[in-house]
């Protein structure tokens, strides 16, 4: 019965061009990456990873991982509150706290296993029965699910509509108010109006929970992310960042007022009831975070910015001659080409793959119906010639598929 039910639902997904497929990579994360059964085993030129600085297979980090494993072993053996919290985890937290000290007075940081876990931790531990969570409608799935799990009331506001949010805040009567937003939106690449949101938080005695999964490492002079980009400073900032994207490893953190961190340690079930990440990972993260703020990190950010500009210039020329397609207002490494319907997005992606390029088609429910897109992401590891190759291929497949 269950299997027949599932098979029926799978056919519906097929009919709507919404079936997803699990690909197995046969080589490390890099602009040229090969996948099982794709392109005759030859590497594809990929524009799909969140490895924005090209650190996921950086020799220094590979070395740090090996050294971390030799010194600390491969496993933590227990949850953080039992015996799994090791020196490398604490060092990462101290370094992150230093990063955020200019932005959050007395900042303290907590390391978690993943961004998904960190968002569940924040929304459930802070969003109790006395709280209202105000969420941007385009927030990441982990924040949406976290809000569902929270005991507090949840209000959603249309993407970026601070006027709507202000009305909701004014009407709110719960003692605790939490504004919850992606700092860089993962499917559009646009940056939230964080100064405006912080002003609202201050005016309404609310707190601002920021998910900087796509800003950390990329934005800000030192790569400290969107709060550095805007030069924000407030006790009301609660910053979450992920460490598997630009940082090239895995994990996530929350940086906030010390009382908030202490409360997460007491109450956040996705922190408490899970095994602490490998100490070798934490040791690697230390090397990665230091690299991000080093001159090499700066050079990588500068290279990435150059590629973003090159790509946007080329894409603008393409959408100008293709009615119905549009670019997003993005100055980050996420550069979606919105084409509208699922079939078009899918057939473009397939046509590109035939030419040896991998750009994923993103369809509902990940994005709103009617806004299917190619989600192009850039990395400092790409070359200008590779970006040029993508633009040429796009121009060619445009002619074939429309």
Nearer Cβ to ligand PLP, position 61 or 172? Answer: 61
Residues 80-109 that bind ligand PLP (CB under 6 A): none
Measured from the CB of residue 115, what is the shortest distance to ligand PLP in angstroms?
2
In SS3 terms, the chain reads as CHHHHHHHHHHHHHHCCCCCCCCCECCCCCCEECECCCHHHCCEEECCCCCCCCCCCCHHHHHHHHHHHHHHCCCCCCEHHHHHCCHHHHHHHHHHHHHHCCCCCCCEEEEECCHHHHHHHHHHHHCCCCEEEEEECCCCHHHHHHHHHCCCEEEEECCCCHHHHHHHHHHCCCCEEEEEEECECCCCCCECCHHHHHHHHHHCCCEEEEECCCCCCCCCCCCCCHHHHHCCCCCCEEEEEECCCCCCCCCEEEEECHHHHHHHHHHCHHHHCCECCCHHHHHHHHHHHHHHCCHHHHHHHHHHHHHHHHHHHHHHHHHHCCCCCEECCCCCCEEEEEEECHHHHHHHHHHHHHCCEECCEECCCCCCCCCEEEEEECCCCCCHHHHHHHHHHHHHHHHHHC
Point out the residue whose Cβ comes nearest to ligand PLP: 115
Cα–Cα distance between 287 and 32 in angstroms, integer? 24
Kindly state whether residue 114 participates in binding ligand PLP, applying the rule CB under 6 A.
yes
Measured from the CB of residue 39, what is the shortest distance to ligand PLP in angstroms?
26
Nearer Cβ to ligand PLP, position 332 or 386? Answer: 332
In the shown chain, the binding pattern of residues 307 to 346 toward ligand PLP, with x for contact by CB under 6 A and - for none, equals ----------------------------------------
Nearer Cβ to ligand PLP, position 168 or 186? Answer: 186
Q: Which sequence positions are flagged as catalytic?
A: 186, 214, 245
Contact 65, 283 (CB under 8 A): yes
Cα–Cα distance between 224 and 220 in angstroms, integer? 6
Nearer Cβ to ligand PLP, position 142 or 168? Answer: 142
Piece of 6-14, 114-122, 229-237, 280-288 that binds ligand PLP (CB under 6 A):
114-122
Kindly state whether residue 213 participates in binding ligand PLP, applying the rule CB under 6 A.
yes
Residues 136-175 that bind ligand PLP (CB under 6 A): 140, 142
Q: Which of 124, 168, 242, 330 binds ligand PLP (CB under 6 A)?
A: 242
Kindly state whether residue 181 participates in binding ligand PLP, applying the rule CB under 6 A.
no
Measured from the CB of residue 142, what is the shortest distance to ligand PLP in angstroms?
5
Contact 53, 248 (CB under 8 A): yes
Report how far apart, in Å, the C-alpha atoms of 269 and of each of 34, 39, 146 are.
Answer: 38, 43, 12
User: Residue 237 forms beta bridges with which residues?
Assistant: 208
Piece of 30-38, 112-120, 163-171, 372-380 that binds ligand PLP (CB under 6 A):
112-120
Measured from the CB of residue 273, what is the shortest distance to ligand PLP in angstroms?
16
Measured from the CB of residue 402, what is the shortest distance to ligand PLP in angstroms?
30
Measured from the CB of residue 51, what is the shortest distance to ligand PLP in angstroms?
12
Nearer Cβ to ligand PLP, position 114 or 226? Answer: 114
Kindly state whether residue 124 participates in binding ligand PLP, applying the rule CB under 6 A.
no
Residues 251-280 that bind ligand PLP (CB under 6 A): 252
Measured from the CB of residue 16, what is the shortest distance to ligand PLP in angstroms?
24
Cα–Cα distance between 48 and 57 in angstroms, integer? 16
Measured from the CB of residue 189, what is the shortest distance to ligand PLP in angstroms?
11
Nearer Cβ to ligand PLP, position 243 or 291? Answer: 243
Nearer Cβ to ligand PLP, position 245 or 398? Answer: 245
Piece of 191-199, 211-219, 291-299, 379-387 that binds ligand PLP (CB under 6 A):
211-219
Sequence length of the chain is: 402
Q: Which of 100, 116, 134, 325 binds ligand PLP (CB under 6 A)?
A: 116
Nearer Cβ to ligand PLP, position 118 or 351? Answer: 118
List interacting residues with ligand PLP (CB under 6 A).
Answer: 114-116, 119, 140, 142, 182, 186, 211, 213-214, 242, 244, 252
């Amino acid at each position: 019965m269950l299997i027949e039910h599932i098979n029926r639902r799978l056919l519906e997904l097929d009919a709507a061009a919404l079936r997803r497929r699990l690909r197995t990579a046969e080589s490390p994360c890099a602009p040229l990456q090969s996948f099982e059964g794709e392109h005759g085993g030859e590497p594809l030129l990929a524009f799909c990873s969140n490895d924005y600085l090209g650190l996921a297979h950086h020799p220094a980090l590979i070395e740090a991982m090996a050294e971390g494993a030799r010194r600390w072993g491969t496993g933590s053996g227990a949850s953080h509150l039992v015996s799994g919290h090791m020196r490398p985890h604490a060092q990462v937290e101290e370094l992150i706290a230093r990063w955020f000290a200019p932005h959050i007075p007395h900042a303290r940081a907590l390391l978690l296993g993943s961004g998904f876990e960190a968002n569940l931790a924040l929304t459930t531990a802070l969003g109790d029965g006395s709280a209202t969570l105000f969420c941007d409608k385009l927030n990441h799935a982990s924040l949406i699910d976290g809000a569902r799990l929270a005991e507090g009331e949840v209000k959603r506001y249309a993407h970026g509509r601070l006027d709507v949010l202000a009305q909701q805040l004014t009407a709110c009567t719960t003692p605790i108010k939490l504004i919850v937003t992606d700092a860089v939106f993962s499917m559009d690449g646009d940056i939230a109006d964080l100064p405006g949101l912080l002003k609202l938080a201050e005016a309404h005695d609310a707190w601002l929970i920021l998910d900087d999964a796509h800003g950390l490492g990329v934005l800000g002079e030192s790569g400290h992310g969107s709060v550095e980009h805007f030069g924000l400073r407030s006790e009301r900032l609660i910053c979450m960042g992920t460490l598997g994207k630009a940082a090239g490893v895995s994990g996530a953190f929350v940086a906030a007022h010390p009382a908030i961190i202490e409360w997460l340690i007491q109450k956040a079930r996705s922190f408490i009831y899970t095994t602490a990440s490998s100490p070798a990972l934490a040791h690697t993260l230390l090397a990665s975070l230091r690299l991000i703020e080093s001159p090499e990190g700066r050079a990588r950010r500068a290279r990435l910015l150059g590629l973003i500009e090159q790509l946007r210039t080329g894409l603008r020329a393409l959408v100008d001659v293709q009615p119905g397609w549009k670019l997003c207002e993005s100055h980050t490494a996420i550069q979606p080409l919105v084409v509208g319907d699922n079939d078009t997005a899918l057939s473009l992606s397939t046509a590109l793959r035939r030419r040896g390029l991998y750009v994923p088609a993103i369809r509902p429910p990940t994005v709103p119906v009617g806004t299917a897109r190619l989600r192009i992401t850039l990395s400092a590891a790409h070359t200008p010639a590779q970006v040029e190759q993508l633009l040429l291929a796009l121009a060619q497949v445009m002619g074939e598929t429309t």
